Amino acid sequence: MDLLNTLVEKGLRRELPTREEALAVLATSDDELLEVVAAAGKVRRQWFGRRVKLNYLVNLKSGLCPEDCSYCSQRLGSKAEILKYTWLKPDEASQAAAAGVAGGAKRVCLVASGRGPTDRDVERVGKTIEAIKEQNEGVEVCACLGLLSDGQAERLREAGADAYNHNLNTSEATYGDITKTHTYADRVDTVQKAHAAGLSACSGLIAGMGESDEDLVDVVYALRELDSDSVPVNFLIPFEGTPLAKEWNLTPQRCLRILAMVRFVCPDVEVRIAGGREVHLRSMQPLALHIANSIFLGDYLTSEGQAGQADLDMIADAGFEVEGAGTTTLPKHRADALAAAGAAGGCGSEASAGCGSEASAGCGSPTEEAGGCGPCGGHAAPSAAPARTSDEARTDLVAVRRRGAGTDLAPNA
């Protein structure tokens, strides 16, 4: 296909596709799917080889969130029967993190439900980061605590945090449809605060909430504009007891096309398959590794994931290798820009590099059960979300996490 050849060439040059090209990827047919995956795979291998980075979640504080994010099992008013507990102690969080590191995880993601941290919370998380790094040499730590106030990102970085996650989740135009207690602009502001503090910006999206193709393209273009180093792609897990419990809009083929579009728009960033991959990709998970270069190991925040050993077997069987602690994840040009930003104590001029040639707490997390001027390019006519079919509602694949952090049972790492 001429479209795919063009997208591969642009991806290898870190050149931004047009909006029409990005939309065309989402509109490809199932007959063209393997060609789409192969094309995205060429771009992925150019920047990341056959490495797969493993990340591990530690839910520091579960449930009882005052925010009303419709997709979230921890939201205000949620009737989902999830684990609910207050802050883990630093040693408890460190023990949980160690299980993931022992399973091969290179990055530990510390998540806490809530609108945003108090200064006391930041101090608490800082001690947790120190405990984890003392016990696990070389491990990366990403914090996800919700909306940040001035100075908090800097304090997290001083404590040893390497990255901060806060997802945009969906397009600005439709954000008000999923959340009323904070705004899209609040989320953008937090990502910018993290970036300005010299933290690696981690921000992604949730697919499957009934959004249109245009919404998906809009949010991915916004993530590129924000210069996210890693983009987690969550697929909504429709938890019973949440407003989006009946939203079963995804097929494995749709998920692969979404991942491919993200890879073409942000060719040289860490694209992570996050929450919902087992639910929606199912047996097609290995194909997704040809597009994305990062996954979560084991369980998620409030739901069960695939067994950690099954993840490792899948990676090996698909011909990939787990990225080692001594390997830099990002391509050299991005790693150098991040190092310079960190040395300067802020994003500096390198932020203009973008994730291409342009050189959440309870209110949003790396895998919450889904959770400037814009790029140029005209809008295509709006397209409706794909019609759901009865065989897509696989509620048997949604299991509440009952092990690991906050319990007396061993984690699934």
Contacts of 117 (CB under 8 A, 6+ apart): 125, 145, 146, 148, 152, 361
Active site residue 69: yes
pLDDT for residue 300: 83
pLDDT for residue 335: 94
Active site residue 75: no
Active-site pick, 14, 19, 44, 72: 72
Active site residue 155: no
pLDDT for residue 98: 95
Active-site pick, 65, 144, 347, 363: 65
For the record, the structure tokens of 372 come out as 């400037």
Active site residue 363: no
For the record, the structure tokens of 98 come out as 């160690």
Q: Please name the residue that has the structure tokens 């135009």.
A: 173
> Is residue 303 a contact partner of residue 369, using CB atoms and an 8 Å limit?
yes
* Centroid of chain to Cα 394: 22
What's the CA gap between 198 and 227, in Å, rounded?
Answer: 12
Active-site pick, 272, 277, 334, 401: 272
Active site residue 142: yes
* Centroid of chain to Cα 108: 13
What's the CA gap between 56 and 58, in Å, rounded?
Answer: 7
**pLDDT tens-digit series, residues 339-376:** 988 887 654 333 334 454 333 333 444 444 443 333 33
Active site residue 272: yes
Q: If phi over 0 gives left and psi between -120 and 50 gives alpha, with beta otherwise, what is residue 42?
A: alpha
Domain ranges in the chain?
2-397
DSSP three-state, residue 16: coil
For the chain, 413 residues long, the average pLDDT of each consecutive 10-residue run is 96 98 98 98 98 96 83 77 87 95 96 93 97 94 97 98 97 93 95 96 96 98 97 92 89 98 98 96 97 94 87 97 94 92 59 40 43 34 43 73 84 84
Active site residue 347: no
Active-site pick, 109, 255, 347, 355: 109
Active-site pick, 14, 19, 124, 142: 142
Active-site pick, 69, 144, 347, 355: 69
Tell the CATH superfamily of the 2-397 domain: Aldolase class I (3.20.20.70)
